[in-house]
Amino acid sequence: MQLENGTLVIRPADAALTINEVAEKIICGIMDGGELSVVGAGSGIYLACASINFAKDIANVHINEISLDQIEIAGVGKTEVVSCMLTSKDGAPDMVKLVADEELDMTLSTGREGQVVSVGRGTSPETLLTLMLIKFATFRKLKVVAAGGSINDAATLALKLCKGSISKEAIGIDLIDLYPIEMRNDPTKKITAISIYLKKGAPTQYSERHLELLKKIA
């Protein structure tokens, strides 16, 4: 794990780190500069997301921007990344409103006629990718949800659709929401979950700040 010039990079080699350890680095980085960019690469995506979520829960940490992308990283190769721009200042996007607007015309179920795809350990990535393509033949938007370590798989699936050539039409990431949910086997504990909203017809729009950040770590 490397913290340098206002950027914290979490790589697959950092898998042995705990959420508490990474959250501590995030909070220290925010305290030092008021802002911090966090990048999770490959299997480090979940650790980055969970640590950010925990830091938000216990400290004055807000997500200004969150993106999923693919880049070439020295020593790692082409990999999926999550990038988050964090700040201690209030004024972050109103995610409750953004999610409500996104879901306004969606059928929020995982059934045959629903627009939600749940990524978990029980279904292969190939099956989920095919399911998403089938649903996109009918719907303009899909909501991909995952929790815990399955967040890595959800990010990979979303980027395969958006960055690969498997879809006949352009598909982009319209919104990403990161939040805690109760654990099924122990409601007293929480786990990090993600919702990735995909839209057919337009590629993902990335900010200049995001693109510059990825150039710095590539």
Q: How does pLDDT run across 20-57, given as a tens digit for each residue? A: 999 999 999 998 888 999 999 999 999 999 999 999 99
Distance, in Å, from the CA atom of 56 to the CA atom of 28, rounded to the nearest integer, reads 13
Q: Is the pLDDT of residue 7 over 80?
A: yes
Task: Indicate if 96-200 has the same CATH topology as 2-91+208-217.
Answer: yes
Nearest to 73 by CA among 149, 13, 23: 13
Q: How does pLDDT run across 110-146, given as a tens digit for each residue? A: 998 999 999 987 889 899 999 999 999 999 999 999 9
CATH number belonging to the domain at 2-91+208-217, selected among 3.30.1050.10, 3.30.110.20, 3.40.50.2300, 3.40.50.2000: 3.30.110.20
pLDDT at residue 112, rounded to an integer:
87
Mean pLDDT for all residues in the chain: 91
Q: How does pLDDT run across 72-112, given as a tens digit for each residue? A: 877 667 899 999 999 988 777 889 999 999 999 999 999 98
Confidence of residue 2 (pLDDT cuts 50, 70, 90): confident
Q: Is the pLDDT of residue 8 over 70?
A: yes
pLDDT at residue 76, rounded to an integer:
67
Beta-sheet pairing, 35-41 with 7-10 = parallel
The domain segmentation of the chain, as residue ranges, is: 2-91+208-217, 96-200
Distance, in Å, from the CA atom of 81 to the CA atom of 71, rounded to the nearest integer, reads 7
DSSP result, 117-135: EE--TTS-HHHHHHHHHHH
Q: How does pLDDT run across 185-212, given as a tens digit for each residue? A: 887 789 999 999 999 998 999 999 999 9
CATH number of 96-200: 3.30.110.20
Distance, in Å, from the CA atom of 197 to the CA atom of 211, rounded to the nearest integer, reads 20
pLDDT at residue 46, rounded to an integer:
96
pLDDT at residue 47, rounded to an integer:
96
